[in-house]
């Protein structure tokens, strides 16, 4: 049973009297959700909805973002540089202003200063950044004096300048007075200037969305509020902007605001600039600096990831070699054997849980790097690929034992690796291991924030994975194998979810083996689905839809679904 503190709480609670810091409306605010506090994990942070502007308000004080690792600043900085900083997501919102390559840039809350550095090195334009956080001081040391580790008002030479672009990415949700923040930013714009803001979207906070992503978007204890799209547009228009565009991109709002018309291009038109930066930025980093080494490793990993996952062949081999040398382990003596997944498995297994112990020996991007290596070797060396995927999972478990925020991308990759792992049990005809894996998958959907680092696949993703496995390897032998899986699932758990899965496996296995559906197995699964507890959220209707579709098919097959969801080479 999951610790109740580890769950999102959507229960109704009494309204709270508050003044909304976004729209200024006083009165009762309705509690929407409570989530585990990121710093004080035994406590919950509560979020209230403003009925006037639909924004969400954090009910309590917030703490600075870099405290997310409980004051361990060196660990925070290395994780940020090696793994967690979303460099492309930082760059493209401001980069897609149509004539951005010809504009000067001021970034407020620039963090380490990566977007500012990209602007200067790749676009060769004037760019400055300000951020009072400690990792901006490291950025100034590594990237240059155009990074100011202080507030804008504390840098007189910048207060006297105007810029064609003023940018604040994931900053406004941390400030005390968002209107004053926008006014200060607006005052630094040139007559043709564009203000660009990104911030978490209040609209994303809903029961039906992935609990781990909801938790990350809330960042309980660290975000003062979450704007709705209309609240953000309203704030910008009240500040005098006549040209305002606000778009929601999943869990994120992006706003562009100006006093004169401006044009934008698609993010894809700027990707080559970003890719060039990943490949070349390490050439000018100072030697012997720990933060510079971490940043260099992070650049190597991201350069390899983008080229491999997007199928960009030019430069891929060079990118892979550099990433293997830098992005797996910390200590140089181990680099010669760094590409051996079995040796790395032993090393990871010996690590204690948590980011600090992990980071003493290994790069924080190791889990993702292991996944990429598994992807690269899946076709030619499946056994070695499975070792990489197992390494990816073990490394994620060690790194994210206490919080998924230690490796959000790693936890997202984790479930893709799980699909490969379960497929391996099919190929090795290990029905008990497959049954155990499928039951564990269901359990993580049932209690999502108790899963690896508090991250589980969304119910839709979990059932898509199960359907891939059920399709597996067609043929009479596989039908008999699936019937063994059905028996194993039934023995391991008496939960309603497991009963449904057992019924599905049995029905599909019988069909593959004999060409006839097992209506008794489907009937048992249907009855079990009717008993699913309410806490299953969207899992119950998904299961019921799946069962109804299975019963309705004359010759059911998962092939169509598999092809549409994963493509023909889904094992890669």
Are 119 and 50 within 8 A, CB to CB?
Answer: no
- Bridge partners, residue 28, by sequence: 17
Res 498: pLDDT: 85
Distances in whole angstroms, Cα of residue 448 to Cα of each of 3, 47, 347, 490: 11, 20, 28, 22
Res 40: pLDDT: 74
Res 520: pLDDT: 80
Res 568: pLDDT: 40
| Number of alpha carbons in the 13 Å side-chain half-sphere of residue 96 | 18
Distance from C-alpha of 373 to C-alpha of 380, rounded to nearest angstrom: 12
Res 569: pLDDT: 39
Res 549: pLDDT: 67
Res 571: pLDDT: 32
Indicate if the alpha-carbon torsion angle 331, 334, 338, 343 is positive or negative.
Answer: negative
Res 360: pLDDT: 92
Res 161: pLDDT: 94
Q: What length is written for the chain?
A: 572
Res 334: pLDDT: 46
Res 557: pLDDT: 45
Res 213: pLDDT: 82
Phi-psi region of 170 (alpha: psi -120 to 50; beta: other; left: phi over 0): left
Res 332: pLDDT: 54
Distances in whole angstroms, Cα of residue 203 to Cα of each of 103, 227, 240, 288: 32, 8, 25, 45
Are 258 and 236 within 8 A, CB to CB?
Answer: no
Res 518: pLDDT: 78
- Mean pLDDT, the chain cut into blocks of 10 residues (572 residues total): 59 89 94 86 88 94 62 86 96 98 97 97 97 94 96 92 97 94 97 97 90 85 95 97 97 97 96 97 93 97 97 95 94 59 93 91 96 92 90 92 76 86 84 90 73 69 78 72 89 84 83 76 78 64 69 46 38 30
Res 416: pLDDT: 86
Distances in whole angstroms, Cα of residue 475 to Cα of each of 333, 432, 479, 481, 515: 49, 19, 6, 10, 10
Res 453: pLDDT: 63
The angle subtended at Cα 90 by Cα 89 and Cα 95, nearest 5°, is 95
Res 564: pLDDT: 39
pTM here is: 0.85
Distance from C-alpha of 572 to C-alpha of 416, rounded to nearest angstrom: 10
Query: Coil, helix or strand for 465?
Result: helix
């Amino acid at each position: 049973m999951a610790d109740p503190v580890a769950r999102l709480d959507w229960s109704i609670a009494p309204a709270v009297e508050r003044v909304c810091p976004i729209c200024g409306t006083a009165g009762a605010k309705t509690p929407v959700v409570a989530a585990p506090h990121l710093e004080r994990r035994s406590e919950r942070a509560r979020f209230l909805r403003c009925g006037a502007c639909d924004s969400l308000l954090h009910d309590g004080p917030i703490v600075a973002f870099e405290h997310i690792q409980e004051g361990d600043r060196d660990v925070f900085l290395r994780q940020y540089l090696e793994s967690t900083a979303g460099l492309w997501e930082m760059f493209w919102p401001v980069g897609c202003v149509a004539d951005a390559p010809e504009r000067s840039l001021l970034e407020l809350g620039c963090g380490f200063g990566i977007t500012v550095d990209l602007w200067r090195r790749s676009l060769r334009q004037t760019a400055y950044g300000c951020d009072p956080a400690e990792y901006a001081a490291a950025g100034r040391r590594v990237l240059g004096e155009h990074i100011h580790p202080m507030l804008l008002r504390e840098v007189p030479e910048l207060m006297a300048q105007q810029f064609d672009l003023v940018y604040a990415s994931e900053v406004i949700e941390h400030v005390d007075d968002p209107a004053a923040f926008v006014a200060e930013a607006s005052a630094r714009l040139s007559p043709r200037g564009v203000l660009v803001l990104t911030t978490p979207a209040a609209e994303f906070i809903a029961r039906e969305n992935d609990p781990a992503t909801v938790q990350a978007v809330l960042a309980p204890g660290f975000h003062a509020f979450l704007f709705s799209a209309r609240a953000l547009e309203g704030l910008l228009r009240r500040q005098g902007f006549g040209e305002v565009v606000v778009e929601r991109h999943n869990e994120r709002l992006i706003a562009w605001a100006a006093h004169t018309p401006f044009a934008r291009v698609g993010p894809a038109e700027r990707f080559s600039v970003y890719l060039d930066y990943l490949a070349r930025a390490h050439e000018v980093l100072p030697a012997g600096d720990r933060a510079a080494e971490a940043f260099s490793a992070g650049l190597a990993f991201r350069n390899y990831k983008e080229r491999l996952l997007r199928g960009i062949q030019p430069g891929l081999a060079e990118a892979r070699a550099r990433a293997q040398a830098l992005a797996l382990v910390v200590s140089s003596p181990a680099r010669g054997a760094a590409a051996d997944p079995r040796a790395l498995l032993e090393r990871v297994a010996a690590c204690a849980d948590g980011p600090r112990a992990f980071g003493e020996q290994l790069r924080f991007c190791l889990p993702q790097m292991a996944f990429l290596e598994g992807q690269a070797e899946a076709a030619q060396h499946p056994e070695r690929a499975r070792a990489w995927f197992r390494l990816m999972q073990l490394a994620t478990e060690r790194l994210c034992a206490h919080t998924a925020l230690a490796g959000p991308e790693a936890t997202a990759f984790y479930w893709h690796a799980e699909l490969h792992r379960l497929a391996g049990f099919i190929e090795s005809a290990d029905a008990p291991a497959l049954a155990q894996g499928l039951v564990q998958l269901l359990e993580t959907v049932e209690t999502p924030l108790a899963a690896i680092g508090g991250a589980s696949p969304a119910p839709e993703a979990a059932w898509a994975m199960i359907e891939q496995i059920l399709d597996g390897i067609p043929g009479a032998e596989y039908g008999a194998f699936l019937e063994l899986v059905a028996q194993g699932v039934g023995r391991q758990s008496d939960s309603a979810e497991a009963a449904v899965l057992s019924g599905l496996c049995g029905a599909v296995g019988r069909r593959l083996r004999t060409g006839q559906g097992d209506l008794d197995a489907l009937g048992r699964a249907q009855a079990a689905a009717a008993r699913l507890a309410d806490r299953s959220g969207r899992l119950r209707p998904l299961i019921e839809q799946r069962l109804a579709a299975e019963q309705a098919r004359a010759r059911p097959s998962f092939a169509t679904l598999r092809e549409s969801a994963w493509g023909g080479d889904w094992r890669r």
